[in-house]
Amino acid sequence: MAIPELMGSVTSSQLWSFGALFLVLSFIVDFASHPQYPRQIPVMGKGHGILNAFLDSFRYVTNYVDWIRDGYNKFGKKGMPFIVPAPFSRPPEVVMPRDQLAWLFDQPDNILSTYDAHNAVLFSEYNFLGRRLAYDPFPNRVIHKHLARHLSTVIPHVDDEIQHAVDTALGTDTDNWKSIKLWNLWLEIVPRVTNRLLIGPEICRNKQFLDGMVKFADDIVRNGLLLQLIPKVLHPIFGRLLSIFNYLHWRSSNTQAQPVIQKRLDAMLKKAAVDEEYKDYTPPEDFITWLIRQALLEQKTDELDSTVISRRLLPIEFAAIHTTVLTGQLWMQDLLTSDPETGILDILRAEVIANKPSSGPWTKAAISNLVRLDSSIRESQRLSNFAATLIERTVVAQNGLYNPDLGWTLPKGSFVTVNLEGTHHDPDLYPNPHSYDPLRYSRLREAWDAKSDEEKKRDAAEGTKIRGLGMVTTSAQHLAFGHGRHACPGRFFVAHELKLIMAHILLNYDIKLVGKVPEKVWIGSSIFPHLKAEIQVRRKKTQA
Ligand code: HEM
């Protein structure tokens, strides 16, 4: 029978039935391909079995954070891991207890892989436009190697960008209050400032470039949500279809970025080839330069291509933009909903005034004195975490991963994560864990600083603990930037960026919240940002 005739003989109800059968079979294949976890690890949700896993894969969207909280109290606090269900196309995750984190973060990448886990949860093969670049973590390595080292050089430029970005977003009207949604405010500032670090001043204010990059980051979030609900066998079709948007957004940005990247690449290659004309050329310190420098150093000739460089921006834009926007928004919300009696904004403003350089831009040293501002961010990251678990690892060792303390082996393909939500709100670790205490850490730091040298010498162990209370210090109790050797390498930049943004706002604007901040809404493991929370600002007639 010819195909048109064959199609004509199939009724629509038969088509629906085939479709449904295909879906069910695909889900069964997914379930069968998941690693089998040791039976003694308790499971949250409805429990073991394919039907329960199927139901829980839908409940994941609304119940994940409750499973994480309950599991922490029932098992995590007693030193036991537990399993949280995942959408059907992904294996469930094993949530490790705090006293196993040192063991966890000690595992080498060829046994417990960070990159493979990130690639799986981010569907990198589709979202980052092809397997080859997505599966080589070169840009992460470049950020690890170069960012912290060049911060002092970068900060004055970042400060310049922040002043411009904040003034553009908030305006200069000293008579009238301006209303602005908090989300929009941070989304106007952060991509610009981030791209001053990544690609420099020629392009970081270019609207088409920025729009493309922000939309690209949005595409990743949306595609991730959809793909994890679709059976794996269909990913090659849906992944490719969905990533058409990613491609278009990257292309739109790339048309703007190409001339800048090409010019930088040509100049750096000529300098490397000892071209007389370029002997005095010094490239600006930004991510594009670091990519080229590192590629030259490692003789990675395939990385010395302007299109490849432009694509290398993508994972870093994704890692940097929404994380910082969410952190900034939640921090500002926490500050503005604090009891006005505490006078927290005045306290922070006074600290900024006391430490602002009398002339010229902010320096790294001056920013390091803003311990109260630092504490207020760290406390917000503790209380108002935007993810219940933010760290993913997957077992890649053929023979699995043996845990000597607990006596079981996680098979290859297992997913492991840590309990950020439970840890950050544990009353045994943080008194009044559900209240925002912006000076929680700076009180301790300042009390320590006030001690005599003699006292400090006597209590050296306490000193080590206190020094670990700055916002960039990660620990098994504070996981906002992850922990261990894959902890966020961007955090050194973010710490300066957020402080400078707030310093500029506190010095130059009056600011108040409009109405109430809505309750947190969770979708799976992350919050859905409050798009409606609103503030009013008015430029001060003279700087504070
Ligand atoms: C407030 C903002 C940010 C937050 C909360 C944040 C959070 C995190 C976390 C939790 C991880 C570890 C994930 C894991 O272990 O599975 C991570 C990794 C990473 N972050 Fe950030 N991040 C932020 C901003 C940035 C920025 C601005 C950059 C770059 C300029 C950046 C670049 C990276 C990179 C490259 C990695 C991967 C590191 C590796 O795998 O070795 N992040 N981030």
Give nearest CA residue, ligand 1 atom 15.
391
Pair of tokens at residue 192 = 């610009």
Residue 55 CA, ligand 1 centroid: distance in Å: 32
Element spanning 84, H or E = strand 82-84
What is the distance between the terminal CA atoms of the chain, rounded to a whole angstrom? 83
pLDDT for res 132: 84
Q: With a 6 A CB cut-off, is 486 part of the ligand 1 pocket? A: yes
Residue 488 CA, ligand 1 centroid: distance in Å: 4
Q: With a 6 A CB cut-off, is 243 part of the ligand 1 pocket? A: no
Alpha helices in 93-206 (DSSP H): 101-106, 114-122, 124-127, 131-134, 138-146, 151-170, 182-198
Binding residues for heme: 488
Query: How far is it, in rounded angstroms, from Cα 260 to Cα 199?
Result: 8
Determine the distance from the C-alpha atom of residue 224 to the mean position of all C-alpha atoms in its chain, rounded to a whole number. Answer: 15
Residue 206 CA, ligand 1 centroid: distance in Å: 25
Sequence-separated (6 or more) residues with CB below 8 Å from residue 207: none
The tens digit of pLDDT for each residue in 294-323 reads 999 999 999 999 999 999 999 999 999 999
Q: With a 6 A CB cut-off, is 323 part of the ligand 1 pocket? A: yes
| Residue 39: burial class (beta carbons within 10 Å; 0-12, 13-18, 19+) | exposed
Q: Out of 41-50, 253-262, 443-452, 476-485, which region has the weakest mean confidence (pLDDT)?
A: 41-50
- CA 101 vs CA 149, 391, 508: distances in Å: 28, 11, 43
Binding residues: 488
Give nearest CA residue, ligand 1 atom 35.
140
Give nearest CA residue, ligand 1 atom 24.
320
Sequence-separated (6 or more) residues with CB below 8 Å from residue 176: 538
Coil, helix or strand at residue 86: coil
The tens digit of pLDDT for each residue in 181-232 reads 999 999 999 999 999 999 999 999 999 999 999 999 999 999 999 998 888 8
| Residue 332: burial class (beta carbons within 10 Å; 0-12, 13-18, 19+) | buried
The tens digit of pLDDT for each residue in 80-128 reads 999 999 988 889 999 999 999 999 999 999 999 999 999 999 999 999 9
Pair of tokens at residue 530 = 């409050």
Residue 494 CA, ligand 1 centroid: distance in Å: 10
Residue 296 CA, ligand 1 centroid: distance in Å: 25
The sign one gets for the Cα dihedral 362, 499, 515, 343 is negative
The tens digit of pLDDT for each residue in 232-251 reads 889 999 999 999 999 999 99
Q: With a 6 A CB cut-off, is 93 part of the ligand 1 pocket? A: no
Give nearest CA residue, ligand 1 atom 41.
486
Give nearest CA residue, ligand 1 atom 21.
488
Query: How far is it, in rounded angstroms, from Cα 219 to Cα 208?
Result: 16
Q: With a 6 A CB cut-off, is 320 part of the ligand 1 pocket? A: yes
For residue 132, count other CB atoms closer than 10 A to its CB: 12
Contacts for 342-348: CB closer than 8 Å, 24+ residues apart: 342/438, 344/376, 344/438, 344/439, 345/506, 345/511, 347/372, 347/439, 348/372, 348/373, 348/376, 348/438, 348/502, 348/506
Pocket test for ligand 1, best of 323, 379, 471, 497 (most atoms within 8 A of CB): 323
Residue 232 CA, ligand 1 centroid: distance in Å: 27
Report the candidate in 364, 420, 358 with the shortest Cα–Cα distance to residue 388.
420
Q: With a 6 A CB cut-off, is 479 part of the ligand 1 pocket? A: no
- pTM for the structure as a whole: 0.94
Element spanning 395, H or E = strand 392-395
Res 3 pLDDT > 60 = no
Calculate the average pLDDT of the chain: 93
Angle at 450 between CA 449 and CA 451, to 5 degrees: 90
Asked casually if ipTM beats, i.e. exceeds, 0.95, the reply is yes
Query: How far is it, in rounded angstroms, from Cα 482 to Cα 190?
Result: 21
Report the candidate in 535, 63, 543 with the shortest Cα–Cα distance to residue 331.
535
Query: How far is it, in rounded angstroms, from Cα 530 to Cα 76?
Result: 30
Give nearest CA residue, ligand 1 atom 13.
391
67 within 8 A of 417, measured Cβ to Cβ: no
Query: How far is it, in rounded angstroms, from Cα 155 to Cα 439?
Result: 25
Question: Hunting for tokens 């080498």 — which residue is that?
Answer: 108
Report the candidate in 142, 136, 138 with the shortest Cα–Cα distance to residue 290.
142
Strands 178-181 and 534-539: antiparallel
